[in-house]
Structure 1
Amino acid sequence: MAEISSGNIWIDTFQSLQKIELEEKYGNKWILQFNYNLVDKLTEEEKRKGWKISQTTKFASFNCSNCSHFWNSSRVTLIFHYCLGKSKTGQVFLRPFCQICRQCNSEYFMKPKFKEESVKAALENLILKIRKNCYREKIRNISQDVMYRTIRTKPHESDLCEACMEGICNKERDVF
């Protein structure tokens, strides 16, 4: 039976990947939800409950809802919190960080739009971390598996980046 689309590329891609990599293999269903209040640290209580964090940077596009200005950024920060609960249902919370439009300097943060290949790469890496940290699979060092290359882009505008404003932007590394 085909899965019903949620209309969200992150949720649909995650459901497809987790079904094969986690649910069929371990018998645990995982669910991804958005939480725009996530931070890059866990409380002691969250750690005791088994929560883990993954942070990455991906390429995305933005479109200002105020002036319709369009721009790309190769440094869009993503934070995931994940945990396999006692009920054996896994939870993932995702926060994609936003940016302010340079054109009109709107007071509102614009949400990023990601291409399918960026979403899939970020989620495949997350699922490897889930397998390693929640199921104790022996997995090679994940960071060694990811090849980084420098991409010539415009300078990162820290004063427009929500992640920079919160002190967690990974601006020293270019990713593809």
Structure 2
Amino acid sequence: MRTRDIPLKPMRSVDPDEDKKIGRSLSCYTRNMEVVWHGEFNRLCQHFFPHRWYLSPYLGRPLNYQWYTFTDCAKVRFLCKFCDHGWTSMKGRVVFNFQFNESSLTGIVFFRLFGQKCQRCTPETFEHAMWYPEEVIKVIGNLFNRIGQEYYGFYRPCVRVDRRPGKPQAKHNKECCQACAESKNMFPEWHDLHR
């Protein structure tokens, strides 16, 4: 039986205005962003009932061709653990790989967050991005709509590209960006997103 043949309760794509209200109410979770990532994912994916969807970080290489891939950008913050230099980037990157198993009626989403190197002390390691709650809500909403499009017959909704306000003080440094460095070989379609 195909996913689209299973009767489901009526669904809608994510309303951007609703997301903004929720983003403001979730600002208290900035210390524990895992709660925001999983909470928003579970809140939205409950609309896929009776199917169950799971979200898990993925640190390895991209998955094989049988997985759908969705890439999104957001404004994120970084803090160097060596020199305490802090900066924001409008090019924070997340990659989602997702797949639905029709025999178990479950879906899995692996996600990967990318870091940046400090431009002051240029260490060899990438710093982890600190995500703002409203940016997490935006990218999870975009992911929900993409899953709905691929498996549940959603029309092709617009991807939200708005970002938290800010004026970058410098241009994006591709040499210090993990997503840019890895995109050349693994994700050639990213080059359009980084212009």
TM-score bracket for the superposition, by shorter chain length? 0.7 to 0.9
Deviations 1:89-112, CA, capped at 9 Å, x for gaps: 110000111111112111111110
Query: Does 1:36 find its partner at 2:59?
Result: yes
Work out whether residues 77 and 86 of structure 2, in 8 Å CA contact, stay in contact via their aligned partners in 1.
Answer: yes
What is the identity, as a one-letter code, of the residue corresponding to 2:52?
K
Q: How far apart are 1:151 and its partner, in Å? A: 6.8
- Structure 1 residue runs without a partner (length 5+): none
Work out whether residues 38 and 79 of structure 1, in 8 Å CA contact, stay in contact via their aligned partners in 2.
Answer: no
Work out whether residues 38 and 95 of structure 1, in 8 Å CA contact, stay in contact via their aligned partners in 2.
Answer: no
Q: How far apart are 1:10 and its partner, in Å? A: 1.3
> 1:63 pairs with 79, 82, 86, which one?
79
More contact order relative to length (CA 8 Å, sep ≥ 6): 2
Aligned to 2:95, the other structure's residue is in SS state: strand
**Percent identity between the aligned chains?**
25
- Structure 2 residue runs without a partner (length 5+): 1-28
Measured in 2, the distance between the counterparts of 1:76 and 1:14 equals 19
RMSD: 2.3
Deviations 1:24-52, CA, capped at 9 Å, x for gaps: xxx1111111112243xx534xx2xxx21
Q: How far apart are 1:141 and its partner, in Å? A: 4.2
Structure 2 residue aligned with 1:106: 123
> 1:117 pairs with 120, 130, 134, which one?
134
Cα distance 1:91–1:152, how it changes in 2: closer, same or farther (>3 A)? Answer: same
TM-score scaled by structure 1?
0.78
Structure 1 residue aligned with 2:68: 52
Cα distance 1:158–1:78, how it changes in 2: closer, same or farther (>3 A)? Answer: same
Write out the 4+ residue segments of structure 1 that deviate beyond 6 Å after TM superposition. none
Measured in 2, the distance between the counterparts of 1:96 and 1:147 equals 17
- 117-126 vs 62-71, greater mean Cα deviation: 62-71
Cα distance 1:97–1:147, how it changes in 2: closer, same or farther (>3 A)? Answer: closer
Query: Does 1:132 find its partner at 2:155?
Result: no
Measured in 1, the distance between the counterparts of 2:176 and 2:92 equals 12
Aligned length: 153
Aligned to 1:55, the other structure's residue is in SS state: strand
Structure 1 residue aligned with 2:48: 22
